[in-house]
Amino acid sequence: MKIESLQNQYVKQWTKLHEKKERDKTGLFLVEGEHLITEALRADIVQKILYTGENPFNFPDCIEVTEPVMKKISQNVSGAKCIAVCIQKERTAEDPKRVILLDDVQDPGNFGTIIRTARSFGFEVIYTSKKTCDLYNEKVIRSTQGALFTMPVIRCDLAEKIRELKTESFRVIGTALKDAVPMSRIGDADKMAFLFGNEGQGVHQELLDACDQRLFIEIGNFESLNVAVATGIVMYRYRG
């Protein structure tokens, strides 16, 4: 089968997946490009693959589309040759030792980079506030470079999650610029959870107050770091 019409019902359905409300409703999302689709196939979340030109994938449900159809479905300004329709899959972490908590992180590039870095440094799960950027935003997906497909990222009430982690013997450490201990003075523990905040406002005060300690990264000649950079530094230092 080859889809040529921009008015095709499936094309309309797939294009709607650009919107968060449609992704939430259907439990589907789009992945563009050969590398990311390969990672999605490894994670067993691919429902269909759409391609134009030559099909690089040995997958049972592939559909050829014309370039105008591909351009309509794609969110990549430079165009795409293949797009996968993927299934959102909830993942959990069993007995994690290294956890990240994100309080209202808004920038999709930051969010995606944090997920990718957490996967690289052995952190097993990320818990986010309900106002954190949408996990299946196209820019988040690209920034993760596929880490999203295997990394448990769970939206929840962070205040409740912090209380739960503390009952499970986690040391919960919030990042802050005031009333905080330098990172170099905070040693390792068996179970550690690190809380990072919004790009402009930082961590909500009530969440900081619930933490066991507050940490700041020693830097010179500037007030603060980008949240993705800060999480990268902390995750490297306390990597699992």
Report pLDDT digits (tens) over 113-160.
999 999 999 999 999 999 999 999 999 999 999 999 999 999 999 999
Q: What is the pLDDT of residue 77?
A: 73
User: Which pair of structure tokens corresponds to residue 61?
Assistant: 């449900």
Q: What is the pLDDT of residue 203?
A: 96
What backbone torsions phi and psi does residue 112 show, to the nearest 5 degrees? -65, -40
Q: Strands, DSSP E only, in the chain?
A: 2-3, 28-32, 46-51, 62-65, 82-87, 98-102, 125-128, 153-155, 171-175, 181-182, 192-196, 213-216
Mean pLDDT within 85-100: 95
Q: What is the pLDDT of residue 193?
A: 98
Provide CATH 3.30.1330.30 ranges for the chain: 2-87
Kindly report the number of other CB atoms within 10 A of residue 142's CB atom: 20
Q: What is the pLDDT of residue 177?
A: 87
CATH number at 2-87 = 3.30.1330.30
Mean pLDDT within 100-107: 97
Report the relative pairing of strands 46-51 and 213-216 from DSSP bridges.
Answer: unpaired
Q: What is the pLDDT of residue 183?
A: 96
* pLDDT value at 1 more than 90: no
Q: What is the pLDDT of residue 240?
A: 82
Provide CATH 3.40.1280.10 ranges for the chain: 98-237
* pLDDT value at 192 more than 80: yes
User: Which pair of structure tokens corresponds to residue 230?
Assistant: 């800060």
Lowest pLDDT segment from 113-127, 179-193, 220-234: 220-234
Closest CA to 91 of 19, 42, 166, 155: 155
Query: Tens of pLDDT along 2-35?
Result: 999 999 999 999 999 999 999 999 999 999 999 9
* pLDDT value at 222 more than 90: no
Domain 98-237 homologous superfamily, CATH:
SPOUT methyltransferase, trefoil knot domain (3.40.1280.10)
Q: What is the pLDDT of residue 27?
A: 98
Closest CA to 102 of 88, 115, 84: 115
pTM, two decimal places: 0.94
* pLDDT value at 79 more than 90: no
Say what percent of the chain tops pLDDT 90.
Answer: 92
Mean pLDDT within 188-202: 95
Q: What is the pLDDT of residue 224?
A: 76
**Across the chain, what does the average pLDDT equal?**
95
Which residue has better confidence, 224 or 16? 16
Please report which confidence band the pLDDT of residue 220 belongs to, taking 50, 70 and 90 as the band edges: confident
Say what percent of the chain tops pLDDT 70.
Answer: 100
* pLDDT value at 59 more than 90: yes
* pLDDT value at 78 more than 80: no
